[in-house]
Chain A
Amino acid sequence: MFEAMIDPTARPAVTAPVVLAPRPAELAGLTVGLLTNTKKNAESFLDEVGALLAEEHGVAGLVRRKKLNIAQTAPAEMRDELVRACDVIVVGVGDCGSCSASAVADGLELEAAGVPAVVICSEAFVPTADAMADLKGAKGYDYARTPHPVAPLERAEVRARARRILPDLVGILTRASVAA
């Protein structure tokens, strides 16, 4: 009926579906990358995750990188370094409107480069994380969720969060995870 009325929305770019990286059976002996942003507690959260992975899952080494622009994906050189040095990567913490979206985009770029990646987002930003996965051709991309908020937590609370989320992280990194 309104075929003469112009559609004001962009034609979405044709995005090829992201193929997720093959998963290892377990993390023992592997090198884990920790990619953080500058959000308060992001670094300490991933430090706690790294410590637990070392203690309880026998990971062999940790490689830490911090991206300074929370809204953009990590710089290509930083991503390449992580891909070369790591067997799996943990990305986080998506705890704001633009950083949650870019954390998911980081995870998908790492997956596309062949390294399994798990993203940590706070539950308040599930809609934006899902929207970004959809936009990038990975609808249903599985990520780990932690209660909101993260920024005002004390270190002991951060440690407790890391402990709670650990089974999810390990599961996503080791089980065949498919983006629909």
Chain B
Amino acid sequence: MTDTALERDAARLEYARDAVEHAYDEGWTDGLPIVPVTAAMVEEFLAATPRPPDEVVAALPHLDRECTVEQAAVNAAMAGCRPEYFPVVLAAWDALMHQPSVTGGGWQSTSGPAPLIVVNGPVRAELGINSTGGVLGPGFRANATIARAVGLVVRNVLGIRPHELEQATQGLPGRWSLCVGENEEESPWEPLSAELGLPAGADAVSALLLRTCEFVDNRHTQDPEEVLWDFCDTIARTGAAIGRFSSAGLVLSVEHAQLLAGGGFAKADVQQWLHDHAVRSHADLERAGKGLDGLQAPGIDEYGLHMTPSPEQIPIIVAGARNAAMSMVVRPFGFSGWSRTAHPVRRG
């Protein structure tokens, strides 16, 4: 390479850096650098979907705000998505718009919840969506940028920014980064999308909002009930108790899922078992200043508070490596529950 070419290269890179800084100055980023977007890039994204550019994919009536397919494309490109990821981003919005908590102001909540986006089907392998080791962590472009594309729409198009309309008290580590493939290949049960009514093998996205997640490390036993009791202890923490609106779910590791299935538990059996056993006593709640004061309501009985509203409201997905028996207890957000819907990925 000649000196002249090197100089030209340096000048281009300086220009690229200025473009990134310009995006910061305009308030368009979530704190990390973005990809500068041109009209040609937006066209590539729009070509990846059969949906018209002016179709509304997200709307918050109480803020008079809507997001079109085209605006979602701009933000997906900014987030670092490849054009072929865009149909998954749109399906994630379909799933999110079915959550009462999303349309009800969840993005503005003091909980600062994070969307958990779950992808099923062959699209995972085609796009490189990780479903195995480190599934909730960094390192995979599709997982990271699909989730980030949602966050940039909330900020840039719906206009919900921290210290303004967004009022998270602390927020959640992992906000705008939680997109996982389900590990269908090693799960002993049908995929989440099939549980929710789509045909086996469909490319699909489901989503819900999370308040947080916490690991359960149990490499200690081969008894399914002992593992379930270990989940229960985490699920029933008083810190997570908010009266009869508490909720919980599981991102199960492959080993835990296979141990449970091997012990004869269908997914529905696990849900029922957890619903029956994850109870916090009235005395414990009172000790934490969270006594229910004789409240009569579903999920409250003489033993205390059932920490899940119903068995089917306990989301269970299988994701992660088959290298250790540890799982995540997740905390769905929202008084109105999880929609339990899966949405097809439609490609152009």
Interface, chain A (partner B; CB < 8 A): 1-2, 4-10, 12-13, 15, 69-73, 96-102, 105, 125, 127-128, 131-132, 135-136
Contacts and interface: CB of A to CB of B under 8 A. Distances in A.
Contacts of A71: 62, 104-106, 108
Interface stretch (B35-43, B83-91, B129-137, B206-214): B35-43
B74 A97 contact: no
Contacts of A4: 38-39
B159 A101 contact: no
B71 to A, nearest CB: 6
A105 B19 CA distance: 37
Given A97-B105, A135-B159, 13 more contacts: A1-B22, A4-B39, A6-B38, A6-B39, A8-B74, A10-B71, A15-B64, A96-B167, A101-B62, A102-B62, A102-B105, A125-B167, A128-B166
Interface in B14-46: 18-19, 22-23, 26, 28, 36-39, 41-42
B97 to A, nearest CB: 15
Interface of A is mostly: loop
Residue among B63, B159, B165 with the most chain A CB within 10 A?
Answer: B165
A1 B18 contact: yes
24 contacts: A1-B18, A2-B18, A5-B19, A5-B36, A6-B38, A6-B41, A8-B75, A8-B78, A8-B157, A9-B26, A9-B157, A9-B159, A10-B65, A10-B66, A10-B71, A15-B64, A69-B104, A72-B61, A97-B108, A98-B109, A102-B62, A105-B62, A127-B164, A135-B64
Given A1-B18, A4-B38, A135-B64, A97 B163 contact: no
A39 B34 CA distance: 39
A10 B67 contact: yes
Nearest to B36: A5
Interface in B162-217: 163-168
B167 A97 contact: yes
Contacts of B23: 5
A8 B37 contact: yes
A101 B107 CA distance: 12
